[in-house]
Amino acid sequence: MALPQLIIVIILSLAALCTAAVAVLAIIGLIRSPKDSTSPSDIPQTSRLESDGPLPPAGVPAVGKLHQQGARKSQQDSFYVSEPETIPSYGTLAVVADGMGGLSNGDKVSQAAVTAMVNGFFVTPGAPEEVLLTLLSQANEAVNQLLGPDGYSQSGTTMVTGLIRGGSLYFFSVGDSRIALYRNRVLTQLNREHIYSHELELKAINHETDFQTAYTHPKKSGLTSFLGMGSLAHLDMPASPIPLQQGDKVLLMTDGVYNALSTEELTACLNGTPEEAADLLNQAIRKKGYSNQDNYTAVILGY
């Protein structure tokens, strides 16, 4: 073989060896192009968590609380909101109970109901709907035991409860306390009150009375279901959980709030943070100056 030809063969062989070496180095990660380089902070969060452990819990909702005594002689409202440290494991529970002001011991009854809900919440397994129904059963039993069989309907309390888990809202209500969703500057009531006017309306539809009577009956706002009546007559619960969106607020409130303020006035108070909303609601109710202002309680959860 002539010398020039030999040199060409050697050069080609060296080139082939270099190419193979580069390929091997690239495979084992010793050579990376600039655009493929990745620092630990660039690794997607989900990828690191999948290798390091379970996903972290959903964020803790911001909370606004309003709990004021109106013109009543005592505060008969009670409420509870989950502590931030319990939320990752259990979700966010909010409970609002309104002891019946026209009856005796409304404060003790509402406190007993809320206490039973809280005590059971941390030891009750199951899907959210099952948990809420179990807790309601325990709360009603606690109130009935407090009153005794001869004391049924001698006192009682309404209750509305919301539970946020996995980005969805679960709730139930008994009585006339309300739960509403504030989204895109619109406030939408989610539950239906258990009051006598609804039964009167049904009677009017069935020609058992007239609509004028249904609308003007002096006892139309009387409760038809509440904790403390023995067996509950009515329960309101959604057919499926409500998916929450960023910016949503969930408002739980007693009738002392929504009877004092119109829907438009309530909505106007909810544009800021939950803490600001609670303060604005309080200011708006106080500004009304009603001489017969009921006790008023609200919990605002900002998602």
| Residue that finishes a domain, picked among 14, 31, 52 | 52
**Considering its fold, how many domains does the chain have in total?**
2
Which region among 88-102, 110-124, 285-299 has the lowest average model confidence (pLDDT)? Answer: 88-102
* Average confidence (pLDDT) over 121-132: 97
Look at residue 57 and tell me if it is in a domain: no
pLDDT at res. 83: 95
Are 121 and 161 found together in one domain? Answer: yes
The tens digit of pLDDT for each residue in 162-192 reads 999 999 999 999 999 999 999 999 999 999 9
Collapse the DSSP code of 82 into the 3-class scheme (helix H, G, I; strand E, B; otherwise coil) and give the result: coil
Q: Tell me which residue range forms the domain holding 20.
A: 3-52
List the CATH number of the domain containing 174. 3.60.40.10
pLDDT at 6 over 70: no
Look at residue 71 and tell me if it is in a domain: yes
CA–CA dist 176, 143 (Å, integer) = 17
* Average confidence (pLDDT) over 108-131: 97
pLDDT at res. 60: 87
Q: How confident is the model at residue 51 (pLDDT cuts 50, 70, 90)?
A: very low
pLDDT at res. 103: 65
Q: Which two tokens stand for residue 147?
A: 């009153």
Are 31 and 74 found together in one domain? Answer: no
Are 18 and 119 found together in one domain? Answer: no
Q: How confident is the model at residue 67 (pLDDT cuts 50, 70, 90)?
A: very high
Calculate helix-pair angle for 128-147, 106-121, nearest 10 degrees: 140
Are 30 and 68 found together in one domain? Answer: no
CA nearest neighbour of 149 among 220, 228, 89, 219:
228
The tens digit of pLDDT for each residue in 269-291 reads 999 999 999 999 999 999 999 99
Are 167 and 71 found together in one domain? Answer: yes
- According to DSSP, the β-strands at 92-99 and 157-165 are antiparallel
